[in-house]
Amino acid sequence: MLNNIFSENFQFTTRYFNEKFQAIAENNAKFPQSVIFEGSDIYGELFFTLELARILNCEKDGSEFCNCTNCNWIKSFSHPAVTIVTPIDFKDMDSGSKTVISTKQCQAISRKLLETSDYHRVFIFLDAKKEALTELEEKQVNKFKNLGYTLPEEWCPAHISHKVFQDQASNVILKSVEEPPKNTTFFFLTKNREDIIQTIVSRSQIFSLPSSVQGQNYGLVANLFKNYPNFTLDDAFNISQEFLSELKEGKYSALDLILMIEEYLTTLIKNNLNNPNFIQSAMSDLKKAQTAERMLSATVQAKTVFNWLLIEFVKNF
């Protein structure tokens, strides 16, 4: 199971991978062979990826404080089968540019894959520079310090881009991304999927790791909807009450609040395109919110509308 810091920050992607690990344990399901993470938080993406690599290679049950050799190697960036690929890592240091991932590096990966391995091999593609972290970056890293990783000295990670990972090099590993040997996974850490070549995108599963949905227009809703989509009847009544006291305060109209719910659900849907079950249920809730919007304009009382809508969001009762 992934650490709580991930379920708090990247709820749906975390749920996907936790369910995947369970399916692997129960019926030998397959882990995706190529994964693209997109989002603004490079540290979130990096630690999420490392934790996935760690759970895949742990000798025990993958628990977050495991001390087995594989877990320790990964936490100190020295695991033989977990390869960080950047312009300055996994590179013969005397040769070539330090600003791009070269075709030579990609050829070396293809050669590496010809050997058999007892591990789940992981290749993590990103950008990195040899420089100290800024104070702000240190802060971002510290968010994840409970995970127990030691970052390499003078190593500043960044999102991958076309400039760093150019078409020629990308094409060298394309075949491996498409048909890797078993127990091999490629990860690409991007701000946006458009930052890597389309032929890799089309062979990968894409997951969004939003930095945070809070602090935007629908922050209020994001706060109240912490348990969404698993509302209990109690949640429904409490949230409805909260909305009504917001109305009393006079900062928002009932319509404002319903529109925030719609915006929140729309964002969740956009961020979880890989999760068809979730989308189906969120789409149906979005339709209900639109019905609530029409009820309000037909002058149904706000209290009735919020109670009705929130009870509709309760899935099992």
- Interacting span for Zn ion (CB under 5 A) from 70-78, 115-123, 144-152, 172-180: 70-78
Please tell me whether residue 156 binds Zn ion under the rule CB under 5 A.
no
Q: How far is the CB of 189 from Zn ion (least distance, A)?
A: 23
Please tell me whether residue 1 binds Zn ion under the rule CB under 5 A.
no
Q: How far is the CB of 79 from Zn ion (least distance, A)?
A: 11
- Interacting span for Zn ion (CB under 5 A) from 43-51, 68-76, 144-152, 168-176: 68-76
Closest to Zn ion by CB, 117 or 274: 117
From the list 42, 1, 4, the residue with the least C-alpha distance to 25 is 1
Closest to Zn ion by CB, 185 or 267: 185
Q: How far is the CB of 152 from Zn ion (least distance, A)?
A: 21
- Interacting span for Zn ion (CB under 5 A) from 7-15, 29-37, 55-63, 244-252: 55-63
Closest to Zn ion by CB, 71 or 209: 71
**Dist. CA 249–CA 246, nearest whole Å:** 5
**Footprint of Zn ion on residues 71-100 (CB under 5 A)?**
71
Among 24, 66, 151, 201, binds Zn ion (CB under 5 A): 66
Closest to Zn ion by CB, 122 or 160: 122
Please tell me whether residue 68 binds Zn ion under the rule CB under 5 A.
yes
Closest to Zn ion by CB, 66 or 156: 66
Q: How far is the CB of 58 from Zn ion (least distance, A)?
A: 3
Please tell me whether residue 56 binds Zn ion under the rule CB under 5 A.
no
Sort 134 into a burial class: Cβ within 10 Å, 0-12 / 13-18 / 19+: exposed
| Contact string 4-43 vs Zn ion (x = CB under 5 A) | ----------------------------------------
Cis peptide before 180 (omega within 30 of 0): no
- Interacting span for Zn ion (CB under 5 A) from 31-39, 57-65, 97-105, 204-212: 57-65
DSSP string for residues in the chain:
---HHHHHHSHHHHHHHHHHHHHHHHH-PPPPSEEEEESS-HHHHHHHHHHHHHHHH-SS---TT--SHHHHHHHTT--TTEEEESSSSSS-TTSS-SSS--HHHHHHHHHHHHS--SS-EEEEE-EEESSPPPHHHHHHHHTTGGG---PPTT-EEE-B-TTTS-HHHHHHHHHHHHSPPSSEEEEEEESSGGGS-HHHHTTSEEEE--S-STTSTTHHHHHHTTTTTS--HHHHHHHHHHHHHHHHHTSS-HHHHHHHHHHHHHHHHHHTTT-HHHHHHHHHHHHHHHHHHHHHHTT--HHHHHHHHHHHT----
Contact 180, 120 (CB under 8 A): no
Closest to Zn ion by CB, 66 or 147: 66
**Dist. CA 240–CA 306, nearest whole Å:** 5
Closest to Zn ion by CB, 66 or 314: 66
Please tell me whether residue 58 binds Zn ion under the rule CB under 5 A.
yes
Q: How far is the CB of 119 from Zn ion (least distance, A)?
A: 12
- In the complex, which residues of this chain contact Zn ion (CB under 5 A)? 58, 60, 66, 68, 71
